[in-house]
Chain A
Amino acid sequence: DAGVIQSPRHEVTEMGQEVTLRCKPISGHDYLFWYRQTMMRGLELLIYFNNNVPIDDSGMPEDRFSAKMPNASFSTLKIQPSEPRDSAVYFCASSLGGGAEKLFFGSGTQLSVL
């Protein structure tokens, strides 16, 4: 298995533009997590899914952020409109189960909003 695949690897955009980040979890994994990492705040959980259903989105900072998981092999995180404070590394992770199972992380998307 290729592991968790995220795209793009780097994204540079201007304030106000729409940004879409993509994630392909490991086949057979039931859980998918989106995290955001900054120096100041560390690794923050934004939202997570179980069997394609969002379970907890309390970490999504604002209505500008939305996430979908239309099927077991694909998820998107969208920011519209983007702002400079959204600049961070966004990670997707998947696991076979919940807290008792290890997370497998993708390589992340480095987002820069100018």
Chain B
Amino acid sequence: SQKIEQNSEALNIQEGKTATLTCNYTNYSPAYLQWYRQDPGRGPVFLLLIRENEKEKRKERLKVTFDTTLKQSLFHITASQPADSATYLCALEVRDDKIIFGKGTRLHILP
């Protein structure tokens, strides 16, 4: 079946370290992959978009990679801060502009 997998376990990272989140997908060939941040009680907020012909995208302390052979995207936060604690969601365009999301990974940055 078609699905997007994100680590459903919460991820605890010490402040200042790099947090790495994983998004795996099966049976899709997306042209684009997006990452969002969601805080409790709020809607998701867009962070980064990466295209299939891009291996890596950066924005400040954020970095996203996209490996279409492995069907995987990695999301990195360097020099992590407690304010980075949130749920992070990956999203794919599966066809005809239809965008679906993984369940997200809860990230806790420990001071």
CB distance B43 to A31 under 8 Å? no
One digit per residue, 1 when the CB lies within 8 angstroms of any chain B CB and 0 when it does not, for chain A 38-76 equals 000111010010100001100000000000000000000
Decide yes or no: A99 and B43 within 8 Å by CB, A42-B104, A43-B89 being known contacts: no
A107 to chain B, nearest CB (A): 6
Decide yes or no: A93 and B43 within 8 Å by CB, A42-B102, A43-B89 being known contacts. yes
Q: Is the CB of A108 within 8 A of B43?
A: yes
Q: B22 at the A/B interface (Cβ < 8 Å)? A: no
Closest to A104 in B: B46
CA distance A93 to B98 in the complex (A): 12
Interface majority SS (helix, strand, loop, mixed), chain B:
strand
Classify chain A: how many residues form its interface, as a range.
20 to 34
| Nearest CB in chain A to that of B30: its residue | A99
Q: Which residues of A contact B91 (CB under 8 A)?
A: 103
B100 part of interface (Cβ distance < 8 Å)? yes
Chain B residues with Cβ below 8 Å from A31 are: 97
Interface check A16, CB cutoff 8 A = no
Within 8 A of B (CB), among A84-106: 91, 93, 97-100, 102-106
Contact flag A45-B99 (CB < 8 Å), given A105-B44, A107-B42: yes
Task: Please report A residues at the B interface, Cβ cutoff 8 Å.
Answer: 4, 31, 33, 35, 41-43, 45, 48, 50, 55-56, 91, 93, 97-100, 102-108
Would you list 14 pairs from A and B whose C-beta atoms are within 8 A, ordered by A residue?
A33-B99, A43-B44, A43-B101, A56-B98, A93-B43, A99-B92, A100-B49, A103-B34, A103-B36, A103-B44, A103-B91, A103-B99, A106-B43, A108-B42
- Give me 15 other A-B pairs in contact (C-beta within 8 A), A45-B101, A99-B97, A100-B31 excluded: A31-B97, A35-B101, A42-B101, A43-B103, A56-B96, A97-B97, A98-B96, A99-B30, A99-B92, A102-B49, A103-B34, A103-B91, A105-B43, A105-B44, A107-B43
